[in-house]
Amino acid sequence: MQNKGIIKLFALLFGLVSIYQLSFTFKANQLEDTAKEAAIAKIADTEDDYQSKRNIEEVRYLDSLKTTKIKVGDKFEPIEVYNLGFAKYSYTEVENNAMNLGLDLKGGINVILQISVRDILKGLANNSKDPIFNKALDDAEELQKDAQESYLESFFRAFDAIKGDTKLASPDIFANRTLSDEIKFDMSDNEVKSIIETKIDESIVSAFEVLRKRIDKFGVTSPNIQRLGNSGRILLELPGAKDIERVKDLVTKTAQLQFWETYKTQEVLPYLMQVNQTLVEENKAKEAKESKNDAIAETTVDQDSTSSAIDDLTGQIESDSTNVADLNPLGIQGYGNGGSVVGMFLAKDKEKVMAHLNAPKNRASLPAEMRYVKFVWGIQTEDSEYSELYAIKGNRDGVPELSGAVITDARQDYDQVSRPAVSMQMNAKGAKIWEEMTKKAYETQGYIAIVLDNIVYSAPSVSTGPIAGGNSQISGAFSLTEAVDLANVLRAGKLPASAQIVQADEVGPSLGQEAIDSGMKSFVIALAFVLLWMLFYYGKAGGFADIALLLNILLIFGVLASLGAVLTLPGIAGIVLTIGISVDANVLIFERIREELAKGKSQKESIKDGFSNALSSILDANITTGLTALILFVFGTGPIKGFATTLIIGILTSLFTAIFITRLLVDWYINRGGKLDFSTGLTKNLFTNVNIDFLKKRKIAYAISAVFIVASLGSLFTTGLDQGIDFVGGRTYQIRFDQDMSVEEVKNDLHNVFESAEVKTIGGPNQLKISTKYLVEDTSVEADEKVQSMLFTALQKYLPEGITYEEFLDGSGDKKIGKMLSSKVSPTIADDIKKSSIWAILGSLVVVFLYILLRFKKWQFSLGAVAAVFHDVLILLGIYSLTWRFMPFSMEIDQTFIAAILTVIGYSLNDTVVVFDRIREYFNENLGWNFDTTINKSINSTISRTLNTSLTTLVVLLAMFLFGADSLKDLLFALIVGVIVGTYSSVFIATPIMYDTAKKGNVTDALKNKVKEDVEEA
């Protein structure tokens, strides 16, 4: 081998860099353990909300390491937490250099946000009332339910279908004052479309930047934010985020900050009383109609004496609660004393009250000067059952005199009574308007409401004169955390449109720790088996392969840490799978060396020829597997992308260690006078004289495969597959109980609540996976909370006595009872996932077909390989369809299953390509052999490698299946089936089909000559 010095240098440098990078991970883990110990020491486990408080204390401890500084010379620097001798690092630097753990290992949230393109279009059109424009928006919503195009493309298509003589450049649509500099009245629709496309893209980019700034200030480790194509979707991954509801609120808040003048209590009370009296009379009329014989109590309210009427009403309510429905149908619980609050109502009645106040028949009685009044609720504290009502002075256009666009800075502060508040600074234009508004409020003794996302946070009076300079403050009934988040949102800016969570995965931190523990256990068991097997089968040479394998693992983790890649649970599965298939290269090399030794060559010559002859098969096998992993990386998201990442890195590092490091070790040993047999006493003659006529048995194999395929197709068309929420939409929750559960009993209970729900056992009999399509179309945070609350109520009788809703959601504590994981997928994105998964599978087949055609120059090879892959995928789908109803673990068809299929495709091709390579070699070396002999001898000569690699990989997968995480059992089961079926198909399907098509086409001689030419050229 040439250039041994350079290879040694590279190996040494790569190893040292990997150890250096991983040292930060070990230090970060050490510091996190210290933080946990500090939190345990400070928070007693008898305290209420123990787990939540402990989480907060852990974060505070680690944050103190970031903020504490020591004086060095004339300046202060962050405290040193890691000293490597040649360099010193702060905690922030350690954290940034440590390996990033994914959502499933660290807990947290992974969401896909859909920025509303509809909202952006309405904004660009100045909320146009044009009927054609608005119908096109509605039609686009319908088109999106079964379309792969973007919402904007659907809107253009819908508009073109109904526009008639209406143009996009009409004054009522896009040729308005806002876009007057860019869109002219005489522009064609195509010209306007191009401009609107640019504007939409700019708005989504703006939303992306706003979200990025908000997340950067949130304080989680290694957040990931990506824009997904041009669909208006944005992916957010926040590993370690413990307050899930806070995250959801932060990323969906549009931050529409507005400043409005308000009406006073006495100006609005006559209207409230009039609406109340109208309701009283309507109820009387209704009662009279239903029961003419009942005596109807006459109730009158003197509308000329508003204050007196309210006092009387309140007194009657207090003295006789049975009259509430009769005398106070509007539900007035109190009123303001001449201030900005116009009424108090029960929080549970807010929707009903707002419906009555905004009813057209009631608003018609408003005075002309109040026709644009807008009723808005105030911010509500958690411990209050009442809500305050405000009446702001709206206008015809619904545009406030001052908006949040003028805010240049915002920070968390405290008001005059030491409550959390947010101080703001405005730009020059905003400061001038603010001064005018406060001057007017001061002179009229009025109030100014500070409204954020249609909620009044405060409505203070101005008692000290006009406020100059653009300084203002928002104070209200919110916590310190809410004040910090609000300041961050205002500082980052507002979203240009509403954002809805269309897909979400939540993992509790305790489940993440369990995933790490089980992943490491399966990793160690699998690694131990592979190391021992290589020693057993190849003796000392196997020991050298083991050293190369250990270096390979070090490099994989080192590269992941260096690139800032995220390690996920499927990623660990990818690494363990890489261990199984990484020995394949060494197996190929060692088997070739054994063949050369059997020919009577010297040890050095056999080693040289063995490495050389195996190189083509190694490269072809790994490239085909790498291509499927690459497609998985392109089409996958989140954990699936992590699986593909580790698989790709593993393939590259495996090639380096197997081809170069093993060679270095073998040559070093031989040059020192050592002797290698590449076998042991038990394996020396194993598979050396195999002479099976595989082609003769191909018809039997065809018949067996046909039976399996027919059974699979029959089950697929009748029973079907258990499609997960990735493909159909809905919400799913993984719940752990402190007792064994009856699936049917829980299912019946949930059926009464959600109308339909799927319940399955996952992991153990005390752990259930619950899926429901209830409110599947509603992707709002409020809908999430409603479904979770209903779930808690339905399951409460199975939970430990005294467990609170918050503890149920947290899913942690000593017993780790409650929600461990939850996922949500909207129907629209589910359809997109399903279609992209199909394209991923078809794309991998096309890419592989073309690659094999390029390498072997004959379509018969490509046809055989692709036919074998179709065979494997159909049987795998059939087995899932036949068994999902009674398997003790989830067998849903989701993105993870698609990852399994693509991995099976890569593995099956790996086996097939090795056989094809040997066929091509024998064509060239043995021109006197007939076609049948060449094929049979090629399969026989590779059977040792095929079984060796398959057995190693299979045992590794079984170790992961038995000892690994429950959430991976469906992926691992698919891989186990795939390895078995793929090994079978490479011998009995791919090669025979290639043989039959080549023989039938009478191209055997041409094929032989072409292969000879290719080898000579190479």
User: In which region does residue 235 sit, left (phi positive, over 0), alpha (psi from -120 to 50) or beta (all else)?
Assistant: beta
3-class DSSP state of 421: strand
> Mean pLDDT throughout 552-563?
87
Angle at 576 between CA 570 and CA 580, to 5 degrees: 135
The pair of structure tokens assigned to 104 is: 């499933």
Compute the distance between CA of residue 960 and CA of residue 528 in angstroms, rounded to an integer. 12
Say how far residue 426 (Cα) sits from the centre of its chain: 37
Give me the DSSP letters along 322-369.
GGHHHH-TT-EEE--SSSSEEEEEEGGGHHHHHHHHT-HHHHTTS-GG
**Which CA distances in Å does 317 have to 91, 332, 510, 1007?**
61, 10, 50, 98
User: In which region does residue 865 sit, left (phi positive, over 0), alpha (psi from -120 to 50) or beta (all else)?
Assistant: alpha
Q: What's the first-to-final CA gap in the chain, in angstroms?
A: 19
The pair of structure tokens assigned to 992 is: 């025979």
The pair of structure tokens assigned to 908 is: 């099956």
Residue 437 lies in a domain: yes
Per-residue model confidence as pLDDT tens digits over 604-640: 898 888 888 888 888 887 887 788 788 878 776 655 6
Compute the distance between CA of residue 161 and CA of residue 691 in angstroms, rounded to an integer. 70
Does residue 849 share a domain with residue 796? Answer: no
The amino acid sitting at 731 is R
* Max avg pLDDT among 174-188, 578-592, 867-881, 892-906: 867-881
Would you state the pLDDT for residue 214? 64
The pair of structure tokens assigned to 126 is: 């100045």
Compute the distance between CA of residue 407 and CA of residue 405 in angstroms, rounded to an integer. 6
Compute the distance between CA of residue 645 and CA of residue 633 in angstroms, rounded to an integer. 7
Residue 1012 lies in a domain: yes
Would you state the pLDDT for residue 315? 45
Determine the structural domain holding residue 741 and report its residue range: 730-822
The number of folded domains in the chain is 5
CATH number for position 769? 3.30.70
The pair of structure tokens assigned to 207 is: 């939303």
Q: What is the 3-state secondary structure (H, E, C) of 161-172?
A: HHCCCCCCCCCC
- Does 655 score more than 70 pLDDT? yes
Per-residue model confidence as pLDDT tens digits over 534-548: 899 888 999 999 999
The amino acid sitting at 214 is R
Does residue 899 share a domain with residue 780? Answer: no
The amino acid sitting at 260 is W
Given the structure tokens 């309701």, which residue do they identify? 279
Contact 911, 656 (CB under 8 A): no
Does residue 211 share a domain with residue 82? Answer: no
> Mean pLDDT throughout 569-574?
71
The amino acid sitting at 694 is F
Contact 818, 807 (CB under 8 A): yes
Residue 499 lies in a domain: no
Between 353 and 292, residue with greater pLDDT: 353
> Mean pLDDT throughout 642-649?
80
For helices 244-252 and 781-795, give the axis angle rounded to 10 degrees: 160
> Mean pLDDT throughout 23-27?
88
Contact 762, 736 (CB under 8 A): no
- Does 1011 score more than 60 pLDDT? no
Between 323 and 607, residue with greater pLDDT: 607
Per-residue model confidence as pLDDT tens digits over 66-91: 666 665 566 666 777 888 877 888 88
Does residue 276 share a domain with residue 151? Answer: no
**Which CA distances in Å does 1011 have to 635, 855, 865, 935, 1003?**
35, 10, 17, 14, 12
Compute the distance between CA of residue 392 and CA of residue 453 in angstroms, rounded to an integer. 14
Q: How confident is the model at residue 349 (pLDDT cuts 50, 70, 90)?
A: confident
The amino acid sitting at 704 is I
Mean pLDDT score of the chain = 78
Does residue 836 share a domain with residue 815? Answer: no
The pair of structure tokens assigned to 353 is: 């009250």
Of the listed ranges 342-346, 383-387, 569-573, the one predicted with least confidence = 569-573
Given the structure tokens 């899932």, which residue do they identify? 880
Compute the distance between CA of residue 954 and CA of residue 944 in angstroms, rounded to an integer. 15
Per-residue model confidence as pLDDT tens digits over 111-152: 777 788 888 888 888 888 888 998 998 888 888 766 667 788
User: In which region does residue 445 sit, left (phi positive, over 0), alpha (psi from -120 to 50) or beta (all else)?
Assistant: left
Look up residue 465 and give its DSSP letter.
Answer: S
Compute the distance between CA of residue 96 and CA of residue 105 in angstroms, rounded to an integer. 17
Per-residue model confidence as pLDDT tens digits over 168-201: 888 888 888 767 778 888 888 888 888 888 888 8
- Does 710 score more than 90 pLDDT? yes
Say how far residue 336 (Cα) sits from the centre of its chain: 47
Does residue 407 share a domain with residue 374? Answer: yes
- Does 525 score more than 50 pLDDT? yes
Would you state the pLDDT for residue 543? 92
Q: How confident is the model at residue 230 (pLDDT cuts 50, 70, 90)?
A: low
Name the nearest CA neighbour of 722 among 763, 775, 776, 760.
760
The pair of structure tokens assigned to 644 is: 């593909």
Model confidence pTM above 0.95: no
3-class DSSP state of 180: coil
Is the C-alpha dihedral spanning 949, 953, 959, 961 positive or negative?
negative
Does residue 859 share a domain with residue 759? Answer: no
Pairing of strands 257-261, 233-239: unpaired
The pair of structure tokens assigned to 971 is: 């992926």
The amino acid sitting at 887 is M
Pick from 484, 500, 522: which residue ends a domain? 484
For residue 330, the tally of other CB atoms under 10 A from its CB is 19
**Which CA distances in Å does 71 have to 63, 79, 81, 577?**
19, 9, 15, 50
For residue 17, the tally of other CB atoms under 10 A from its CB is 15
- Does 49 score more than 80 pLDDT? no
- Does 704 score more than 90 pLDDT? yes
Pick from 209, 228, 247: which residue ends a domain? 228
The pair of structure tokens assigned to 568 is: 């996920």
Name the nearest CA neighbour of 664 among 581, 550, 578, 548.
548
- Does 761 score more than 60 pLDDT? yes
Given the structure tokens 């991976």, which residue do they identify? 968
For residue 376, what are the β-bridge partners?
390
Pick from 73, 98, 123: which residue ends a domain? 98
Compute the distance between CA of residue 331 and CA of residue 31 in angstroms, rounded to an integer. 55
Residue 294 lies in a domain: no
3-class DSSP state of 680: coil
**What beta strand segments (E) does 21-145 contain?**
69-72, 75-78, 80-83, 88-90, 100-101, 108-115
- Does 511 score more than 60 pLDDT? no
**Which CA distances in Å does 261 have to 438, 474, 591, 1006?**
10, 15, 85, 89
Residue 237 lies in a domain: no
Does residue 559 share a domain with residue 698? Answer: yes
Does residue 119 share a domain with residue 56? Answer: no
For residue 120, the tally of other CB atoms under 10 A from its CB is 24
Name the nearest CA neighbour of 568 among 511, 675, 640.
640
Does residue 982 share a domain with residue 950? Answer: yes
Does residue 22 share a domain with residue 82? Answer: yes
Of the listed ranges 202-211, 434-443, 456-465, 548-557, the one predicted with least confidence = 202-211
Residue 687 lies in a domain: no
Does residue 809 share a domain with residue 949? Answer: no
CATH number for position 644? 1.20.1640.10
3-class DSSP state of 469: coil
Name the nearest CA neighbour of 383 among 246, 477, 481.
477
**What beta strand segments (E) does 478-621 contain?**
499-507, 566-567
Would you state the pLDDT for residue 369? 86
Contact 768, 741 (CB under 8 A): yes
Instruction: Name all contacts of 607-616 with Cβ < 8 Å and 24+ positions apart.
Output: 607/666, 607/667, 607/670, 607/676, 611/1, 611/659, 611/663, 613/921, 614/585, 614/588, 614/589, 615/659, 616/917, 616/921, 616/1018
Would you state the pLDDT for residue 813? 46
> Mean pLDDT throughout 932-944?
86
**Which CA distances in Å does 390 have to 343, 364, 375, 441?**
7, 19, 6, 16
Rg (CA), the chain: 35
* Max avg pLDDT among 626-640, 760-774, 929-943: 929-943
- Does 297 score more than 60 pLDDT? no
Query: How many residues appear in the chain?
Result: 1018
Look up residue 427 and give its DSSP letter.
Answer: -
Q: What is the 3-state secondary structure (H, E, C) of 256-281?
A: CEEEEEECCHHHHHHHHHHHHHHHHH
Contact 564, 662 (CB under 8 A): no
Residue 537 lies in a domain: yes
Per-residue model confidence as pLDDT tens digits over 824-856: 666 655 666 667 777 777 877 788 788 888 877
Would you state the pLDDT for residue 316? 42
* Max avg pLDDT among 932-936, 996-1000, 1011-1015: 932-936
Residue 235 lies in a domain: no
Between 707 and 287, residue with greater pLDDT: 707
